[in-house]
A and B are shown apart, each in its own frame.
Chain A
């Protein structure tokens, strides 16, 4: 009985796996991120942006090399490291050579190690891991490897830019740091403490705490403490429902100072903050959305909106990822030899439509780019988020942020 079922099951399996391995000419990019479950909205949004970028920036311009098209294939990892590794294997078997992933540094850690091991053990089917959003600094420091490239600024770089702005603001004398209790929340807190201490030793850190991730139902008690501490500004690395819950709670309790965040835009969060977040919520990030940095960026955004009226471009680095990959493939003259492509990516300087340059630092494969501090507002917004009246407008910019920041990466090249 067991055998029959298993046979049937496995033949079904090979059918499905085989069916999608039919096209050979396309340059395949595997998008491994959550497409179902609680984080699916972020994942689906990212997939749309990747598909759009590949179509708009590569395929509609005639493809790469001798007319090869770029195809982005979505793999649902359910934000689970285990599923990610299975899907990685499936993707490699389908002839994928480029993996993109971004949601959760935990998954990114699992993937970067798996890719490293895979490339060591299977030199014939090596792959590159293009990380577009996982910001754990370790990925380009202790845990760096030759196959991993990060197109987002890491948590430390963002904090560097953020603290530059805070340091210049004389009205901020007391800062409260709060985050989710896991590696990212901890590294935000550590970086904030260190950098504020260096840049403005007179700023008092009146609170520094962690709360369980994804488990807090009501943030009111935290908000009370923040208000009671007399803080002038709040720094948080929270994302998703934790960001919205915390932000709303703090504002509801009468806090009026700035809340510096990493992820308080898009995916419904901008619409949910609406009027209440105006003048309070600040975001650090790459890519200037408002005012548009270039005509090209405006066209790109409008084309995206025409295709996905409910979507947002809240991750402009996605188009940088595709753009830089396309450039590297063209320079290397191959879409299969990932070592040559990786060498082309190393040290690449790329003019981005979102303003400024992106430099892929060869020592640690960390992209260096302009960092913007944006405000959540409804004034001067060309491109709003979530179909609300609100969006993010750039207030200040740190050019090529953390260009000379140290890294502990000891890159082993093949």
Chain B
């Protein structure tokens, strides 16, 4: 029972982290129709910049400055890269971000080398906040939860209560009308892209010390972010939140409990074949949930796309 509570907290941390990434991605998508494949690369840049800054002036300055740099870089990519490719259409845009992801990974290796960076949790937060029956919850995780929730509330506030948010929302649906009203729509696009990537960068800053800062960190996370926003429904902020938490909890619980395929199949009335070790399906029978925990989101995505292509909260198809 205690373990369930611990797992709930762990899943929440994973889910909220995923949300920081998918929130930016889904905003960018709903505004510009671009599925940004390089999104996780900005997450990686955030971690590396923060590491570099933390060496010089400490973790907290890194937390403040690194996302800003990433955001500026992101805005630059939009202004000088995407906007140019935009004229060719949707597919080249997607492919451009795909190439950009490869390029950023190579650049990071070029500058920082290929080893894991010793980017670590600041001393202030390096203690155990509390323990539940022997399982300690580090203070840093609590800190991550609070940062993520603060970001979510801030984002919601900006989008729904401020003038800028209103313009953004209007530009999402009727870009031409908004332009006719005298607003600078390309500037709004650039801004949204910048903010989206800055959020990814922030996620990198706070995740780097726990999940590791290495050149493969974007690749590990890359496609799962897509899965999240597809499950949640493209363009829906709430969908992204729900899907992120869902994925966080599903994967955490699947890893924590050894559910075996054999038991499942027996439970629904299929009996284990004799001579299991000779059977062609032996690997299928011996599956356990931790083995497949990290591919469960993909299964979920394919099922959702087949039965509800708009995603959980999405209102449109593509």
Contacts and interface: CB of A to CB of B under 8 A. Distances in A.
A and B: direct contact (Cβ < 8 Å)? yes
Interface of A: 38, 40-41, 44, 181, 209-212, 214-218, 220-222, 224-225, 227-228, 241, 244-245, 248, 252-254, 267-269, 271-272, 274, 386, 388
B220 A253 contact: no
Contacts of A228: 3, 133-135
A388 B118 CA distance: 10
Contact of B255 (A41, A211, A388): A211
B173 interface: no
Given A227-B134, A241-B116, A221 B256 contact: yes
B10 A267 contact: no
A210 B138 contact: no
B212 interface: yes
A184 to B, nearest CB: 15
A224 B294 CA distance: 17
A221 B134 CA distance: 14
B22 interface: no
Of A41, A220, A225, A254, most buried by chain B (CB within 10 Å of CB) is A220
Contact of A253 (B14, B120, B136, B219): B136
17 contacts: A38-B214, A38-B216, A41-B113, A209-B258, A210-B291, A211-B290, A212-B293, A214-B216, A215-B295, A227-B135, A241-B212, A244-B116, A244-B212, A254-B131, A269-B116, A274-B120, A388-B118
Given A38-B215, A217-B211, A252-B138, A44 B10 contact: no
B118 A274 contact: yes
B6 interface: yes
Nearest to B11: A221
A222 B290 contact: yes
Nearest to A225: B256
Contacts, number: 108
Given A40-B114, A254-B128, A269-B116, A224 B212 contact: no
A267 B258 CA distance: 33
A77 to B, nearest CB: 15
Contacts of A212: 291-295
A241 B214 contact: yes
A252 B252 CA distance: 17
Nearest to B295: A212
A41 B220 CA distance: 18
Given A228-B3, A228-B133, A386-B115, 16 more contacts: A41-B113, A211-B290, A212-B295, A220-B10, A220-B13, A221-B251, A221-B252, A224-B3, A228-B134, A228-B135, A252-B136, A267-B115, A267-B116, A268-B214, A271-B118, A272-B212
3 closest A-B pairs by CB: A268-B115, A221-B255, A41-B114
A40 B136 CA distance: 35
Q: How large is the interface on B (under 10, 10 to 19, 20 to 34, 35 or more residues)?
A: 35 or more
Given A221-B10, A241-B116, A271-B118, A216 B136 contact: no
A218 B114 contact: no
Given A221-B255, A228-B3, A241-B216, A209 B290 contact: yes
A215 B135 contact: no
Interface of B: 3, 6-7, 10, 13-14, 109, 113-118, 120, 128, 131, 133-136, 138, 210-212, 214-216, 219-221, 224, 251-253, 255-256, 258, 288, 290-295
A41 B108 CA distance: 13
A64 to B, nearest CB: 33
B48 to A, nearest CB: 14
B208 to A, nearest CB: 12
Contacts of B211: 217-218, 245
Nearest to A242: B212
Contacts of A241: 116, 212, 214, 216
A221 B289 CA distance: 12
A268 B118 contact: yes
A269 to B, nearest CB: 7
Contacts of B3: 224, 228
Contact of B6 (A215, A224, A244, A271): A224
Contact of A38 (B10, B212, B219): B219
Contacts of A254: 128, 131, 134-136
A224 B256 contact: yes
A272 B116 contact: yes
Nearest to A210: B291
A256 B56 CA distance: 33
A220 B210 CA distance: 10
A248 B212 CA distance: 10
Nearest to A41: B114
A274 B120 CA distance: 11
A247 B294 CA distance: 19
A44 B113 CA distance: 11
Of A214, A215, A244, A272, most buried by chain B (CB within 10 Å of CB) is A272
Contacts of B216: 38, 214, 241
A272 B118 contact: yes
A211 B13 CA distance: 20
B105 to A, nearest CB: 9
A269 B116 CA distance: 7
A241 to B, nearest CB: 6
A241 B131 CA distance: 27
A253 B135 contact: yes
B293 to A, nearest CB: 8
Nearest to A268: B115
Given A44-B114, A209-B290, A218 B14 contact: yes
Contacts of B120: 272, 274
B47 to A, nearest CB: 13
